[in-house]
């Protein structure tokens, strides 16, 4: 089965990511450092929904903005 759910548990420095299939079985787990999270998100297929807490979405936006600014410099 392919991944249908991606959950993210945010922390100060390292995010835990869990990919699950339709049956709820864990396919893959990994820890991603805050600095690499934006790169990881960008590699997901278009239309992928990543679940996390509401404050996580604000944090992900901030990380994406920081990455954009680094590339522009």
The two three-digit tokens of residue 7, written as one number: 């959950």
pTM (2 d.p.): 0.56
Report all structural domains of the chain as residue ranges with CATH numbers, in order of start: 5-72 (3.30.420)
CB 31 within 8 A of CB 17: yes
Name the burial class of residue 30, with classes exposed (0-12), middle (13-18) and buried (19+) by CB atoms within 10 angstroms of its CB: exposed
- Counting every residue, how long is the chain? 73
Contact status, residue 40 vs residue 17, Cβ threshold 8 Å: yes
pLDDT tens digits, one per residue of 29-73: 899 998 898 888 888 887 777 776 544 444 555 555 666 666 776
Read off the DSSP letter of residue 30: E
């Amino acid at each position: 089965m392919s991944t249908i759910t991606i959950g993210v548990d945010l922390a100060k420095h390292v995010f835990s990511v869990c990919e699950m299939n339709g049956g709820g079985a864990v396919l893959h787990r990994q820890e991603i450092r805050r600095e690499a999270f934006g790169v990881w998100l960008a590699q997901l297929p278009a239309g992928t929904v990543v679940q996390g807490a509401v404050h996580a979405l604000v944090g992900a936006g901030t990380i994406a903005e920081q990455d954009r600014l680094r590339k522009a410099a």
